Amino acid sequence: MTADVTAALDEAFRAEWGKVIATLIGMTGDWDLAEECVQDAFTQALRSWPRDGVPRRPGAWLTTVARNRALDRLRRHASEAAKLQQAVILSPPDDPAGGAVDTHITDDRLRLIFTCCHPALPLEARVALTLRTLAGLTTAEIARAFLTAEPTMAKRLVRAKQKIRNAAIPYRVPPAHLLPERTSGVLAVLYLLFNEGYAATAGSRLVRHDLCAEAIRLARVLAGLMPDEPEARALLAAAVRREQRGPYLLQAAIAQCHATAATAEDTDWGLIADLYGVLAQMVPSPVVELNRAVAVGMADGPEAGLKLADALAASGKLTGYYLLPATRADLLRRLGRSAEAAVSYREALDLAVNDAERRYLARRLAEAEGTAPQQSRA
């Protein structure tokens, strides 16, 4: 397989997985069948594209192949006759060459998010299921994002799909009066979708621009659906009203502090530390506490930040989370405790899986061990 075809397949997976999955779920109403058929479509692409060339519209090609796989599977089950009839009615015309297939992508993905975020599902299950189906993250990647074991996350995903199927949860954007009960789940999904975009859990690239763009686009759609919901606007880093305080409004304020500072030294780290303190009370989270430790380390000095980071390490709440030893390493480096910093950098390097972050940690480790030129202590 040529490098061009490999690159095209990788790009198609990043850009098209969520779109095709959403279309197939909308067509069949069967989550497992949709995932299996989309996987089959990518497998077929592995065989066909090196031989026939990359289609002009890879997403349309994948949608057509996946849809045809689904129709074949449904035809083999007589008890699914009604579903087959619905699928045929909903299916766009065949176009294997990737021509003018209209997959109604925008509506399908929005319906997918609201279906995943039904209040009958636990909040973590809502977020995890959407990251799996919309973003195409692996179970291992989602487990790392939630700081939990992969088998635990796999069971959580299976239970969420079963709940949707057994409770006959409709695949739709709910009417206006039902939107508020799903707001927290949808906001959390879009937040983590963007988070995975700008700091990818794994892979060769630190930033996944496709996920960032999709999260922003969907956040704009959500803000349009709920114009009076300040948290939806805050997710887009809208202007913060001081009299309103929700978790995304606080994070918008933190983002504003970073965005308006010309340099790291000019950043109002004291305000950021205070905002993280309020956020930690509102949404208790060891990751928020770690972010606060970083801000305190910048505002009050590395010793103060290290004290908070050490307390988190002693609690065991962030065991296996590479950013905890990475944070400790940076604070120790700034204190001039190079040998201890090297130990923490090595621990962080063992835990990190993103190639870009591993390169950065390896460079810092070499500096701490005295095998590379020292860089700025900023």
CATH code: domain of residue 324:
1.25.40
The per-residue pLDDT for 151 is 92
> In percent, how much of the chain has pLDDT > 90?
31
Kindly report the pTM of this predicted structure: 0.57
> In percent, how much of the chain has pLDDT > 70?
85
For residue 29, tell me if it sits in a domain.
yes
How many distinct structural domains can be found in the chain? 3
Cα–Cα distance measured from residue 210 to residue 18, given in angstroms and rounded to the nearest whole number? 11
Answer yes or no: do 129 and 85 share one domain.
no
* Residue 145 or 156, more confident: 156
Cα–Cα distance measured from residue 259 to residue 254, given in angstroms and rounded to the nearest whole number? 9
Answer yes or no: do 86 and 129 share one domain.
no
**DSSP track, 243-255:** T---HHHHHHHHH
The per-residue pLDDT for 107 is 57
Q: Which amino acid is at 50?
A: P
For residue 301, tell me if it sits in a domain.
yes
Whichever domain contains 48, its CATH number is: 1.10.1740
Backbone angles phi, psi at 203, to 5 degrees: 105, -175
User: How does residue 239 score in pLDDT terms, banded at 50, 70 and 90?
Assistant: very low
Angle, vertex CA 363, rays to CA 361 and CA 368, nearest 5: 90
Structural domain boundaries, residue 216? 105-235
Answer yes or no: do 360 and 315 share one domain.
yes
Residue ending a domain, among 203, 235, 267, is 235
The per-residue pLDDT for 244 is 52
Window from 139-153, 162-176, 217-231, 294-308 with minimum mean pLDDT: 217-231
What helix, strand, coil percent values describe the chain, rounded to 5? 70, 0, 30
DSSP state of 354: B
Residue ending a domain, among 90, 120, 136, is 90
For residue 262, tell me if it sits in a domain.
no
Residues 348-360 have pLDDT tens digits of 999 998 888 999 9
Q: Give the closest residue to 1 by CA, choosing from 39, 49, 38, 56.
A: 49
For residue 367, tell me if it sits in a domain.
yes
Residues 170-208 have pLDDT tens digits of 877 788 788 777 777 788 778 877 777 766 666 666 677
Do 252 and 238 meet the contact criterion of CB atoms below 8 Å apart? Answer: yes
Cα–Cα distance measured from residue 212 to residue 206, given in angstroms and rounded to the nearest whole number? 12
Distance of CA 224 to the CA centre of its chain: 22
